[in-house]
Amino acid sequence: MKALENDLYLRVLRGEKVERTPIWVMRQAGRYLPEYRATRAAAGDFLTLCKTPDLACEVTLQPIDRFGLDAAILFSDILTIPDAMGLELVLEEGVGPVFNKPIRATADIDQLAVPDPEDELGYVMDAVRVIRRELDGRVPLIGFTGSPWTLASYMVEGQGSKDFRRIKGLMFESPDAAHRLLQVVTDAVIVYLKAQVVAGAQSLMVFDTWGGMLSTANYQRFSLAYMQQIVTAIKQDPITANTPIVLFTKGGGQWLEMMADTGCDGLGLDWTVDIAQARARVGDRVVLQGNMDPVVMNTGQAQVEQEAMQVLSGYGKHDADSKGHIFNLGHGIQPFAKPENMQTLVQTVQQHSAEFHRE
């Protein structure tokens, strides 16, 4: 493979000093981009877009081509694993992701098996390979997964939820069954992430979208414990040991120390976390990623620049006591974001972050 032209993102995750703060954005390939909407329309639907490697590559590269971001992220969906397990994922207009065959009994859990990443999930691995080839060494490629708790939540609820009464009911009433479910999903995630690395992913991210709705004790038992297994498995395998892994629990700012204890390389922060306080708490142990409020991207360019500078100054000067900072939003960019605001954001970070890296 060709050597990277821009390796800022990976250098930060390796704990190296860099000349400026790298930036990428969650959901950077998305509906706010007219070229994305055109490709999705040509594909016919979101799942076809995900499952067609050449189209997944096309949309992965669109924000890189337009904005010059410092990392690409595989275009896929967190629900690929449950779909491959036979739950039959569909996207319903106005509803979102829905499983035709959700888990409704403990017997359903016992029928689950770990999918073969080069068979049932081969389209993802093919997409990784195509994207690496087409990136041609411009920037690193991030692979990802949903956390076991988040995937299990969708599998049991059957779709998104406001109260998560089914998955929490399983957790409270049948904890052993909940742990069996989480374990098979964790086993699948580990195999899936390792296969992404073999296919060409250069960094990994775990999106724990729904961990933040748990109590501290249940977060430790039903979410963090399984992310710990993932980090340990990645770090202990010689093939993946040098691949950095970042954990992100939306709504999990109170648990940063616990998350850092997993041995991960970085932590994503949502916008509710004060980045200066996060750095004081764990910034000498892990890289911090984040954390501008995504709604700012729907406003004006002056607001975007102001908020970006506030995040940069909030993290402060990079010194020997800090692991480093990767600029990102505190969650995914929204469909109503303005493309010109993304350009402003990237330019602001790339042009002004250097002042925070000078001795």
**Cis (ω within 30 of 0) for the bond into 341?**
no
Query: Which residue, 164, 144, 145, is CA-closest to 156?
Result: 164
Instruction: For 37-65, give the DSSP string.
Output: HHHHHHHSSHHHHHH-HHHHHHHHHHHHH
Q: Measure the CA–CA gap between 263 and 181, rounded to whole angstroms.
A: 24
Residue 347 is assigned to a ligand binding site: no
Q: Which two tokens stand for residue 68?
A: 């010059």
Query: Which residue, 117, 116, 93, 112, is CA-closest to 101?
Result: 112
Choosing from 40, 132, 138, 221, the catalytic residue is 40
Residue 48 is assigned to a ligand binding site: no
Q: Please measure the distance between the N-terminal and C-terminal CA atoms of the chain and give it in whole angstroms.
A: 34
Active site residue 31: yes
Residue 226 is assigned to a ligand binding site: no
Cα dist from 269 to 28, 79, 98, 218, 354, whole Å: 17, 22, 27, 20, 21
Active site residue 66: no
Choosing from 7, 70, 77, 187, the catalytic residue is 77
Cα within 13 Å of Cα(311), Cβ side: 30
Residue 29 is assigned to a ligand binding site: yes
Residue 265 is assigned to a ligand binding site: no
Q: Which two tokens stand for residue 149?
A: 């708790």
Residue 154 is assigned to a ligand binding site: yes
Active site residue 108: no
Residue 272 is assigned to a ligand binding site: no
Q: With H, G, I as helix, E, B as strand and everything else as coil, classify residue 249.
A: strand
Choosing from 9, 32, 36, 154, the catalytic residue is 154
Active site residue 27: yes
Residue 315 is assigned to a ligand binding site: no
In degrees and rounded to multiples of 5, residue 143 shows phi and psi of -100, 165
Choosing from 20, 27, 221, 279, the catalytic residue is 27
Residue 7 is assigned to a ligand binding site: no
Q: Which residues are catalytic?
A: 27, 31, 40, 77, 154
What residues are designated binding site for substrate?
27-31, 77, 154, 209, 331
Binding residues are 27-31, 77, 154, 209, 331
